[in-house]
Amino acid sequence: MRKLTIAGFALATAMTAGCASNQAAVDEATATANSAEQTAENALSTANSAASSARTAQQTAEEALAAAKAAERAANEANERAKRMLEQSSMK
């Protein structure tokens, strides 16, 4: 009977140790999952910020292109006027 009691205590101790190590593994896995989730949230936030910056840069580039085209038209018109003025002065 005494051997049975000691064996029972040994078994209970072994099971408790096993549960404790299993709980430690679960706790570690949970911490790892939480860390991974936070990393993913940070990455998403960074990606959203980058996308916003890219949209702003694209809009600025489109505005600059429109301004450059307007400047090109104005320069072409000025060149045409200067050309006509030179032709008129050479006829006189």
The DSSP 8-state label assigned to residue 15 in this structure reads: H
pTM metric for this prediction: 0.57
Confidence of residue 1 (pLDDT cuts 50, 70, 90): low
Helix, strand or coil, per DSSP, at residue 1: coil
Per-residue pLDDT reduced to its tens digit, 8-40? 555 555 555 555 567 777 788 899 999 999 999
pLDDT at residue number 61: 98
Q: What distance in Å separates the CA atoms of residue 59 and residue 47, rounded to the nearest whole number?
A: 18
